[in-house]
Amino acid sequence: MTVTVRFAPSPTGFLHIGNARPALMNWLFALRKGGRFVLRYDDTDRERSTAEFAQAIGEDLAWLGIHPHESFRQSERIAQYDAAAERLRAAGLLYPCYETADELERRRGRARALGRPPVYDRAALKLSDEARAALEAEGRKPHWRFLLPNHDGDPFVTRRTECSWSDLCRGEQTIDLASLSDPVLIRADGTYLYTLPSIVDDIASGITHVIRGEDHVANTAVQLAIFTALEATPPVFAHHNLLTTVSGEGLSKRKGALSLRSLREAGFEPMAVASLAVLSGTSHAIEPAETMAALADMVSLADVSRSAAKFNPDDLRPLNARLVHRLPFDAVADRLQALGVAGGAAFWEAVRENCETVGDAARWWRAVSDPQPMAVEPEDADYLARAAELLPPDPWDDTTWGTWTGALKAETGRKGKALFLPLRKALTGEAHGPDMKALLPLIGRRNSAARLS
């Protein structure tokens, strides 16, 4: 059996870091097992789903390093859902209901007032053909509910019916089907809710493992019942904890919270984002993995905590910096060129340990290449003028800084910060930064003389 997983986003907005967590969990599981990853666009919400958002989702996944083996849109598969719905109708497991939303809410309110659970009472099953015809003559159109197998033949006499599964994240789980309402699978306008198309597609795609957020735990028993009704083997389920903000709030793509697009535009490395999104809320220390394969080896579904995983974007910068400090020039050459940064490998190796993002290299390139003098403290003016006079002749190499500062120390008596800091600030405009031994040859004698003047 080939392990096959899926990620099923709705193309109704941009992916945020909370969406990335299940995508990554599925991708890493497929990597560990040598399996397949299916991207399914759940685009049955015709009003809000757009081709623009679908394209953006694909781009965001590619940026993270997730490359689906197969992708498709649910809007292309309506005929398969219709066929499955017809099978359930023929089996007496999908029945029409005519209550309005207001009528259902009043019934739930009465049930709560009487101390009963607000479970649908299956009143629609008692309607005669004549009663249904009369309701339709009024203009009502039915929505369709799936009849849960929580009875012994009389649907109005339910019994405790335990539905159990072994969850790869949460262990053994059990839900009583008698505590649930028959789920609506088809709306009154004929469109499908999430449940039936998802199951039909999981069967057709041969999905072996459904790995998703813990907010879907309550849906699992219903879905297992529908798998059985369609005579299909259900997948193995795993429900991981959800990413929240630091304050514990849920993430929402409608609010653009921590979107992958914004993180990418801020210059974060995809593996820094992936490492934090996956390792948060697990038993592992948060550290940057350099590749997806390395991240897949670091964590398994059994390592996921039962408590919420809080995503702190402030943790991204130090994590990102650790990755950037290890990036070879070949890995960043194209990005540096796009930023207008020259200097080659010598420049990158000189500045990378002072960059939190690759984009920070642009600031250091300006410090290296801009011939304009930097602002200096008035009390350092005479010292810097003498420093200009003592500049060593070309060619410059990694010994030039030591030679120059040694001569200045002997002539002026300065040492430590008083010797080095005014030079650094005059040459780079910064009080801290890359090793001047490596940076000075990149600045060059001409620019150095211009700045010290």
Indicate the pLDDT class of residue 257, thresholds 50, 70 and 90: low
For range 267-283, the mean pLDDT: 94
Q: Which two tokens stand for residue 272?
A: 């820094």
Closest CA to 24 of 5, 1, 10, 40: 5
CB atoms < 10 A from the CB of 319, how many? 21
pLDDT(452) > 90: no
pLDDT for residue 379: 87
The per-residue pLDDT for range 15-24, each reduced to its tens digit, is 999 899 999 9
Indicate the pLDDT class of residue 248, thresholds 50, 70 and 90: confident
Task: Please say whether the beta carbons of 238 and 169 come within 8 A.
Answer: yes
pLDDT for residue 125: 97
pLDDT(375) > 80: no
CB atoms < 10 A from the CB of 231, how many? 9
Min mean pLDDT across 27-41, 107-121, 164-178, 262-276 is at 107-121
pLDDT for residue 254: 53
Closest CA to 239 of 223, 227, 226: 223
Indicate the pLDDT class of residue 223, thresholds 50, 70 and 90: very high
452 against 188, higher pLDDT: 188
pLDDT for residue 252: 61
Indicate the pLDDT class of residue 398, thresholds 50, 70 and 90: very high
Would you tell me the crossing angle of helices 195-205 and 78-90 to the nearest 10 degrees? 110
pLDDT(250) > 90: no
pLDDT for residue 256: 54
Reduced 3-state DSSP string for the chain: CCCEEEECCCCCCCCEHHHHHHHHHHHHHHHHHCCEEEEEECCCCCCCCCHHHHHHHHHHHHHHCCCCCEEEEHHHCHHHHHHHHHHHHHCCCEEEECCCHHHHHHHHHHHHHCCCCCCCCCHHHHCCHHHHHHHHHCCCCCEEEECCCCECCCCCCECCCEEEEEECCCEEEEEEHHHCCCCEEECCCCCECCHHHHHHHHHHHCCCEEEEEHHHHHHHHHHHHHHHHCCCCCCEEEEECCEECCCCCECCHHHCCCEHHHHHHCCCCHHHHHHHHHHCCECCCCCCCCCHHHHHHHCCHHHECCCCEECCHHHHHHHHHHHHCCCCHHHHHHHHHHCCCCCHHHHHHHHHHHCCCHHHHHHHHHHHHCCCCCCCCHHHHHHHHHHHHCCCCCCCCCCHHHHHHHHHHHHHCCCHHHHHHHHHHHHHCCCCCCCHHHHHHHHHHHHHHHHHC
pLDDT for residue 134: 96
Q: If you average pLDDT over every residue of the chain, what do you get?
A: 93
β pairing state of 162-167 and 143-146: unpaired
pLDDT(400) > 80: yes
Indicate the pLDDT class of residue 403, thresholds 50, 70 and 90: very high
For range 126-139, the mean pLDDT: 95
CA distance 278 to 298: 10
pLDDT(253) > 80: no
Task: Please say whether the beta carbons of 186 and 85 come within 8 A.
Answer: yes
For range 286-300, the mean pLDDT: 94
pLDDT for residue 369: 87
pLDDT for residue 313: 84
pLDDT(156) > 80: yes
Indicate the pLDDT class of residue 45, thresholds 50, 70 and 90: confident
For range 395-400, the mean pLDDT: 95
Residue whose entry in the numeric block shows the structure tokens 């080095």 = 420
pLDDT(372) > 90: no
CB atoms < 10 A from the CB of 51, how many? 11
Q: What's the Cα-to-Cα distance from 53 to each of 78, 225, 251, rounded to whole Å?
A: 21, 33, 18
Q: What length is written for the chain? A: 453
Long-range contacts of 136-141 (CB under 8 A, 24+ apart): 136/98, 140/98, 140/100, 140/188, 141/188, 141/189, 141/190
CA distance 278 to 282: 8
